[in-house]
Structure 1
């Protein structure tokens, strides 16, 4: 088996567990905070939002830092640092004596994270252009599926085994990811730049700044759109279902439907990107995803919502791989980790922004408007991608084949 394939398998598992670890706390957080001694409902909601969001905000700040470290010291050391650090921190959350210790550990989790950035950089730099789309598409399923399945997994463990065991089991899985990374990930890293450049120098070295910023913004809008439904999905299911006894299960299925579809479709769409171009797959996926959000506002039963979210997952599966492929193609190898770190920061900000935006839209206008506004955001982003990415890349290939023609290979 080629080294890059073996690394891909190990990274997939690690990123999936990381995604679960980052998101599994969502359904059990209010209940765990109540168990830690907070009885006021309004205060529980406030502390839950703060504890959930702080990890992503801090991750957005530190992701470029760890991306820079990956370029400087190698990707495998960053994988080992992140997986072991998260194993210890998440496991420790099960021993939290009060809510403030829990929040502090969530903040520390945000500082330590960087596994996904290092994995994406490792696979992007080791995989040849012929297989890059498939490899990055497969890798993208791990984080997205972990993030979407995490709430369901956390809710199930919390309900059946206790809230503390959510953290103990996730920490143990991260420890397994650390061991498998140490044993099976192989990297031949040669440090090319001994001098640490400043941020301005790094940005000056990026060949196409406008295209890079467009990709960052697209990834931000993508993650923002995926997470606008996080705060309202359970409430929406409650409105749609007359049977209150299965709300948790139905909400978990609604979350998981997109994750399952993503696992199925992302490798295939990644391979399609290798053949026809990632910018084409990205554009079509944005349009389809934008339109699929709209009918979710008109569903009359939970099964209709679950079905539409499955279709949404099929479309969204083409977006993250396409962004990663294009970032890889336009970024010099020496800057790959730092640029992917910045891209990951955009994603973390999108997660936090989506969670806040969805809750605010639902509070001010009603739950159904969350789907209207999210769909509109994706369609607006599709128009922007058409002019800033699709037309630009195709025009560049026609007029200056030596600059970006390698992307088409």
Structure 2
């Protein structure tokens, strides 16, 4: 079926794009130093700027790409994004100064957007009764890319030049570009007469209170996750772990969280199709908030690893469910634009999370970050619960007429 083939291509393409975007994370400081940064402080500063640049620019343009996808079709948007990534990754491998690297990282955010475009296409074309499962599968591919990319980034620089890695990533994305051009299909566009008949009926009225709540949830989710990830290494070191084991255990802890999300995303998405996506959002936020409390009290690294795995299982279905709720509460002609806003909210959370988490850890202590994040997630779960209890429309059990 058309939507199933499109899901498979988007799954593969999103995986490849995320691998290419995250493969540089382990050796980014090395590349920054190679491009002329001098001293640990200068290297750290430029590495942070280069890392955040992509998320910042992507947050600015995600709603625009979503709007254009609504107007001209999601397939064209995916072709543009995959070609933009081909060019951007190749140029990053040719950068000569650290300033050029930052500009090119900005270009990645401006020209890319394949994963967010995939969410729009899958959400728009998948039957509503299967949307949670489909978005969960897509989310698993994205998170798997985020797990594989850094692992490859830790191995590849030992066997090849860093610039070659970027050129190889560009070549891999080129195959994704070809697959998108050849195999992604769009539904037939409405003719003028059909569109006029559709527009003559009563237009569905979106429940914007639900939509705005989901945008806030998307931002809070990423902010909560990214406020913890940057301090995991420091937290493990504070547990009297041997110096040689700190980085290995920190990587295992981060991988456990990602693995939990990969496992749970399609299953929670399928559950959301049966019981309602907003219900799953409330329960997952509540469980994640409660799991942060024992994380602040652990005394051994293995305890933190187990709890982060459980945390990943709880968080894995949230983004697909958020996308499903948005999909079910807006008309078909606004899906791309609103999911673009959701992507922007996630990127803003990814930028703000490390800053707030680092500030809180430095001022109030590492364990305090877990406590504050727990309160934020539990408060957000309570807000969503009130929305759910408001009525059946908020629970997204009724579908809108996309006509």
**TM-score between both structures, scaled by the size of structure 1:** 0.89
What is the aligned partner in structure 1 of residue 386 from structure 2? Answer: 387
SS of structure 1 residue aligned to 2:326: helix
What is the aligned partner in structure 1 of residue 303 from structure 2? Answer: 304
Matches of 1:122 and 1:192, distance apart in 2: 20
What is the aligned partner in structure 2 of residue 13 from structure 1? Answer: 12
1:323 correspondence with 2:316: no
Matches of 2:252 and 2:215, distance apart in 1: 30
Matches of 2:339 and 2:114, distance apart in 1: 12
Deviations 1:314-347 (A, max 9, x none): 1001211211111111111111111111111101
Alignment of 1:180-191 (within 5 A): 180-190=179-189
Matches of 1:295 and 1:122, distance apart in 2: 39
Count of aligned positions: 390
Q: CA deviation at 1:40?
A: 1.9
Tell me if structure 2 keeps the 8 A contact 1:73–1:191: no
What is the aligned partner in structure 1 of residue 171 from structure 2? Answer: 172
| RMSD of aligned alpha carbons | 2.3
Tell me if structure 2 keeps the 8 A contact 1:241–1:302: no
Q: CA deviation at 1:97?
A: 1.3
Matches of 2:232 and 2:219, distance apart in 1: 21
Q: 1:158 to 1:380 in 2, by over 3 A?
A: farther
Q: CA deviation at 1:396?
A: 6.0
Q: CA deviation at 1:219?
A: 0.6
Deviations 1:21-44 (A, max 9, x none): 333333322222112221222122
Matches of 2:360 and 2:81, distance apart in 1: 35
SS of structure 2 residue aligned to 1:229: helix
What is the aligned partner in structure 1 of residue 270 from structure 2? Answer: 271
What is the aligned partner in structure 2 of residue 47 from structure 1? Answer: 46
Matches of 1:161 and 1:375, distance apart in 2: 42
Q: 1:39 to 1:375 in 2, by over 3 A?
A: same
Unmatched tracts of structure 1, length 5 or more: 194-203, 398-402
Matches of 2:186 and 2:113, distance apart in 1: 17
Matches of 2:110 and 2:291, distance apart in 1: 35
Matches of 1:25 and 1:120, distance apart in 2: 24
Matches of 2:241 and 2:312, distance apart in 1: 26
Q: CA deviation at 1:241?
A: 5.9
**TM-score between both structures, scaled by the size of structure 2:** 0.90
Matches of 2:111 and 2:204, distance apart in 1: 27
Q: 1:296 to 1:387 in 2, by over 3 A?
A: same
What is the aligned partner in structure 1 of residue 222 from structure 2? Answer: 223
Deviations 1:83-124 (A, max 9, x none): 121122123212221111110100101101221222111111
Matches of 1:86 and 1:52, distance apart in 2: 16
Matches of 1:305 and 1:160, distance apart in 2: 33
What is the aligned partner in structure 2 of residue 198 from structure 1? Answer: none
Tell me if structure 1 keeps the 8 A contact 2:6–2:184: yes
SS of structure 2 residue aligned to 1:405: coil
Matches of 2:287 and 2:191, distance apart in 1: 42
